[in-house]
Amino acid sequence: MTPAQSACLADALVAGYGILAQGDPALAAVECTINLLEQSGLFNAGRGANRQLDGVQRMDAAIMEGAQLKAGAVASIEGIAHPITVARLVMEETDHVLLVGPFAGKFARHFTLDRHRITGTPRRLSYGRILAKQKRSRTKRHGTVGAVALDRSGTVAAGASTGGIESMLPGRVGDTPLIGSGVYADNHSGAVSMTGIGEGIIRLVIAKSICDRLAMGKSPAVAARQVLRILTSRIHGTAGAIVLSPDGRFAIRHVTPHMAAGWWNGTGHVTSHMAAGWWNGTGQPIIQGEFP
């Protein structure tokens, strides 16, 4: 993790602390922390998102709150600085959960959300050449950013935002915008945000699977460990999870090479670390980032 990434994670923790400390909802803390990571261009989300094989950035994001199980998501959205904010608007301004592609972008522009300049030129490749390039690639870079939080009312929330993995076919969608796979939040069980290779996370519906174990009385650490063990043993997948229960217990578990985040105990300096992160004051935000 670079010094700039570490500083950005620290800023996100400070922002999450401020929102929860003044009594605002967990949903706002989740959106705000992810906004900062998207804005920075330092992570594979928002301005820093990976490009698909045709040279275009297409981004996914999702957010969910645990009181009423409301959720919103976008997939394959282009040219928008904060996909997580669009996801929240889908949740709050429509009767839907997921909007995709150009119409997700049109929805975002209706609300005059910040856009970012699209750089570079789309690659004019035949689809056969794109397929061949994808098959030749051995790159496994990814890097979803995510957050979970618990507010003073006892409501949990979870969110995630990503540019996906490298060497993606145009239109590829990973786990992040699929509620139950990349994110899940329920006041009766807990909140989960995932990172890693989305195809495996989707196949096991991991975020909801972890929450189901929390609802059965498993601790966050045990629930995450059990599901990630299935991921590695059954389909040789790689992922990381941040897990928060309604009583404030949390765990960060990963079967990826790296998972970066930061923590703060409410006093002194915020600390960043290439492992995991949290804030253990009143309410509990947790942020994560993953790097190759």
Distance CA 57, CA 36 (A): 18
Three-class SS of 242-269 = EEECCCCCEEEEECCCCCEEEEECCCCC
Order of all β-strands in the sheet with 239-244: 183-186, 190-196, 239-244, 250-254
Distance CA 236, CA 253 (A): 16
Q: Which helix (H) or strand (E) holds 223?
A: helix 220-235
Note if 144 is an active site residue: yes
Cβ-in-10-Å burial (0-12, 13-18, 19+) of 58 comes to buried
Residue showing tokens 């989305």: 198
Distance CA 128, CA 272 (A): 44
Single out the residue of 95, 78, 75, 103 nearest to residue 87, CA to CA. Answer: 75
Under a CB-based contact definition with an 8 Å cutoff, are residues 252 and 285 in contact?
Answer: no
Could you give the C-alpha distances from 68 to 41, 157, 205, 286, 290, in angstroms and in order? 33, 11, 20, 21, 30
Contacts of residue 132, defined as CB under 8 A and 6 or more positions apart, other chains included, come to none
Q: One of 33, 144, 162, 195 is an active-site residue; which one? A: 144
Would you name the residues annotated as active-site residues? 144
